[in-house]
Amino acid sequence: MALDQLTVRHWGNACYEEVWHAMQDFTNQRGPETQDELWLVEHPPVFTQGQAGKPEHILNLGDIPLVNSDRGGQVTYHGPGQLIVYLLLDVRRKKLGVRHLVTSMEVAIVELLSEYNIRAYAKADAPGVYISDELGIEHKIASLGLRVRRGCSFHGLALNVNMDLAPFLRINPCGYAGLPMIMTAPLGGPQTIDEAQSQLIPKLAEQLGYPHLYHTTEKLIL
C-alpha cells in the first residue's frame, strides 16, 4: 500500500454525530499501515462545542441542536452550503505537527480564494481564515478545529461557501463576540460545494505532502 496516497472520501450530507463517531472509530482502529484520508461532508444544521468551550458563548440555540464534541476550539455552526473537510492522518508517521496541519489548511484556503481575486489571510493568534471588507471590518470565512489522539488527527476545517449565516448570530463564533461571518459565493468565489472542494482538495493535499489522491463515495463499515 502506498502511504503517499490520500483517500478522499465523499460522504455527501450526513449527520454530525454519525460522522464524528465514525472518525473516532477509524482513529481507534487504524494501524501503522492504514492509509490516511480526507472526509468531505455537509452537515444538517448543528452547533458544536469544543472541549474547552465556554457556555457563555452560546447565546440562543433556538431549534438547532448542540453537540459537545472532542475537537479543540469554542462553539461554531455547521449547516448546508458549508464545506467540511476532516483530516484523518497519521501525523506521527507523517512527521507533521499540529501547527503544520493548521498552517496547511489555512494556506490551502487562502490560495483557493486568491484564484478568485479574494484577498484572505490567516492570523497567528486566532486559527482560521479571514477577509477584511472595504471598511476594514474583519470577517471569518473558514473555521478550524482539530483533535490528535494516538498520534493521529481527526476533525478539520469548515469553509462557508453558500449557506444561511443567520445561525452564527446565535453564538459568539469561535468564542469571539460579534465576529461577523462571510461566505465565498457573494464575493465571487466558489458558488457550490462541488466547485469549492474540487479546487481546495488538491491544494490541501499538496500542502500536506500527498502526491496521489484516490476519490471514493464508499461509506466505511467499522
Residue type for 136, please? G
Binding site annotation covers 126? no
Binding site annotation covers 177? no
Binding site annotation covers 156? yes
Binding site annotation covers 199? no
Q: Which helix (H) or strand (E) holds 58?
A: none
Residues 71, 73, 75, 81: is their CA dihedral positive or negative? negative
Active site residue 152: no
* Residue 148: strand pairing partners: 153
CA distance 37 to 1: 14
Binding site annotation covers 72? yes
Q: Determine the length of the chain.
A: 222
For residue 50, give the C-alpha cell. 469544543
Binding site annotation covers 69? no
List the catalytic residue out of 174, 181, 193, 200. Answer: 174
Binding site annotation covers 187? no
What are the binding residues for substrate? 71-78, 143-145, 156-158
Catalytically active residues are: 174
